[in-house]
Amino acid sequence: MQIGKRFGPWGGALIVLLTLAGGAIRLAGQDRPAGFGRAFAAIDRLWPEVNLNVLVLDKSGAPQKIDEQAFQLFEDRAERPLRFPASVDSPVSVALLIDSSGSIYKRKPEIVSAVTAIIKALPAGSEVTAVDFAEQAYIDLPLTPVSKVDFSFLDWLRPNGRTSLLDAVIATEDYLGGNAKYVRRALVILSDGEENASGNSASAALGGILLPGAPTIYACRVRDPRRTLNDLTESARGHKMLEFLAKMGGGPTFNLDPDPAAAAAQIAADIRNQHVLQFTAADPAHDGKLHKLEVRLPVKDLQVHVLPAYLAPSE
């Protein structure tokens, strides 16, 4: 799969090849601009410090602002001391991963409306990038301060072709991990979840989703209006894929229908209320091992959305 950069007002062209070698996700390409780094390189600079994005919701799904001292973090069942590097409603780095495959070609107006609303509702000082994908993924908007976003990038959305969702998730995680300015991070997927063209598997995608400092994943299902009651198998498979990505990415799932404006508002509200817990890994080895995570709160009936585990960086 390729992830490229479409330049309307920016000019020029860039094609970056996503490869998977030795278990490490790697971006390689020609004429790479300054700052177009690798997720692993960025994480290695912080390791063994781990930034963990956490979202807390009540039973109705409303985001909650929690007293920092109420959090308890357990790594491999052992409690770790916590620090809090960013406050709720502080600037956040957000990636919008937008499905532009043929299966949702009739949903462009609703997607454009939702993307616009999410960006405009982010905290002041935040930054956002937008990647659209079908068989290939394109960076339509490089990481940009929300106050300077030119929404004409949405004109590039021309739904057509098959869907490489997993490849797009891997590439976007890599780009955000290597370039994001803020420790509060979110990745919003707007897609029907159908997957029929990726070269990478779901297990390969986990290599980026579970990295220390990875963004919370918000998966918003965009229904294909052409699906009928007799054509539910593929649709259900897509829905399960989105649920899987959100669960492993520590975030909730949404449906764009029946009210796209309400869905966009809820996603933006959740992002604004993300917490960040920082701790030092008990084992600083670069061994690629999986470490189980658990966040506890003394208040009952709260939903805690957080990565279930993280992968230590490998050599």
Domains (range + CATH), the chain: 2-40+88-272 (3.40.50.410)
Q: How confident is the model at residue 18 (pLDDT cuts 50, 70, 90)?
A: very low
Q: How many residues does the chain have?
A: 315
Q: How confident is the model at residue 33 (pLDDT cuts 50, 70, 90)?
A: very low
Task: Provide mean pLDDT across the span 239-268.
Answer: 97
Nearest to 306 by CA among 268, 276, 269, 267: 276
pLDDT digits (tens, 9 = 90+) for 95-112: 999 999 998 888 999 999
Return the pLDDT at 45. Answer: 78
Return the pLDDT at 231. Answer: 58
Percent of the chain with pLDDT over 70: 83
pLDDT digits (tens, 9 = 90+) for 226-244: 665 545 566 788 999 999 9
Distances (CA, A) of 169 to 50, 120, 172, 311: 21, 23, 5, 17
Task: Provide mean pLDDT across the span 11-33.
Answer: 28
Long-range contacts of 21-28 (CB under 8 A, 24+ apart): 23/207, 23/288, 23/314, 24/207, 24/314, 25/170, 25/173, 25/174, 25/204, 25/207, 25/208, 27/3, 27/171, 27/174, 27/175, 27/178
Mean of the per-residue pLDDT values of the chain? 86
Sort 21 into a burial class: Cβ within 10 Å, 0-12 / 13-18 / 19+.
Answer: exposed
Task: Provide mean pLDDT across the span 293-309.
Answer: 96
